[in-house]
Amino acid sequence: MIKITKDILKKIYPQRTPEVHKYDFGLLLVIGGGQFYSGSPALAAMAAFRSGVDMVQILAPRRAADIIASFSPNLAAYPLKGTWLDQEDLPTLISMSKGAKQVAGDKTAVVIGGGLGRSEETKETVKEYLRQSKIQAVIDADGIHAIAKNPEILKGRNSLLTPHTFEFLALTGKDVKDLPFEEKVKVVKEEAGRMGCTILLKGKKDIISDGKEVAVNETGSPYLSVGGTGDTLAGICGSLLAQGVAPFLAAQAGAFINGRAGEIAAKKFGPSLVATDLIEAIPEAIQ
């Protein structure tokens, strides 16, 4: 079992040479948001930028996209047609994904799920997008619920799932919340192997497995129970995937960075901590 330490940062942040170009360090698509959770894709995108990706493009239902575009000039938000993700949006999602691949090649990834909602139409659209798009993906939140009954969609692609214990139950039918830690490790490894993906089970100790190996991350703070810190984790992991880091390593580093940034922010803010505080602490966490 791998115990994640700060040394992991040396593996994912090599010294940059002067001869670099835009998209050499990735292009990340973030698909998420809806009528209620408009902030989710914005938090993922801001965390992704702070983690080193060159560009982030957000694809969100119109209301969410308009709100997100007002947050920061760093955020590029493309408005989809309706008030939630549905089948009419699929051609746009596929077209934008192909366009991303054309400019960034293999340095392209997608984060999908945060704030989308769980209507049947939205879940079907997420599944069809994943069937048609071969871009490596971080699947989070409502995206996990969308594929829960069809995990075979993940076969043959570089997918990283970031569930908490309830989402893990929905995905696998396995309730690990009260299991001894060693049993949790065993179940996560088995399920990652069965589905052919990398799973990052969030918790006091994050458990990461690709079905072959297991890593444990112990950075974090009790104050990370606040809403939005799962979105930042997904954004960091997506950023690293887009930069060319393999899913198992990206999950380890993402968990470490998110947890370490949370520790730094918690020292300053304590119970007043919010997700944007964590994002602002990422630069210190990766130094």
- The CB density around residue 269, as the number of other CB atoms within 10 Å, is 15
- pLDDT tens readout for residues 191-243: 999 999 999 999 999 999 999 999 999 999 999 999 999 999 999 999 999 99
Spans of all domains in the chain: 23-285
Q: 3-state class of 109 per DSSP?
A: strand
CATH code linked to domain 23-285: 3.40.1190.20
Q: Which residues of the chain have pLDDT under 70?
A: none
What confidence score (pLDDT) does residue 157 get? Answer: 84
CA distances from 150 to 107, 131, 142, 226, 239 (A): 27, 11, 14, 30, 26
Whole-number pLDDT of residue 158: 85
pTM over 0.95, yes/no: yes
The pLDDT value recorded for residue 216 is 98
Exposed, middle or buried, 125 (CB in 10 Å: 0-12/13-18/19+)?
buried
d(Cα 140, Cα 56) in Å, to the nearest integer?
17
